[in-house]
Amino acid sequence: MVTGFGHFLGRQAIEQWYAEEFKEVQSSNNLVTVDEDSPHIRGTAGNELWATGKFSQTIKGRSGSTEVKGVWSAIGIREGDDSENRDADHKHNLSTRCDNP
């Protein structure tokens, strides 16, 4: 996993990073939307999808609250009755200070 604070490898390292992160930060007003023209069929077999959309949330930490907005994308594949997320990405593209305690 890659974050703005470095990269973390392995399940235990990722779980520890999230556990520490959620001690310091609270998330609220989480909104995820799917683009109107999404999903898109990928490949020739018709079993892969590419979806895109937007997200926003309010993050509260020690120094106040920040509104984070961005875009996301995901690639999924269906094999028989199972589906799996192949790739997911998100980009934060706007951050606004909401308050300062």
Q: How does residue 14 score in pLDDT terms, banded at 50, 70 and 90?
A: confident
List, in order, residues 6 or more apart from 97 with CB less than 8 Å away.
64, 65, 66
For the stretch 40-98, pLDDT in tens is 888 788 788 888 999 998 888 877 888 888 888 888 887 777 766 666 665 655 454 45
Q: Which of 17-21, 30-34, 92-96 has the highest mean pLDDT?
A: 30-34
Structural domains in the chain, CATH included, are 26-99 (3.10.450.50)
For the four alpha carbons of 9, 11, 16 and 21, in that order, the dihedral sign comes to positive
Q: What's residue 87's pLDDT?
A: 64
* pLDDT given for residue 101 in this prediction: 44
Distance CA 99, CA 30 (A): 18
Q: What is the pTM of this model?
A: 0.60
Specify the residue for token string 């199972």.
Answer: 82
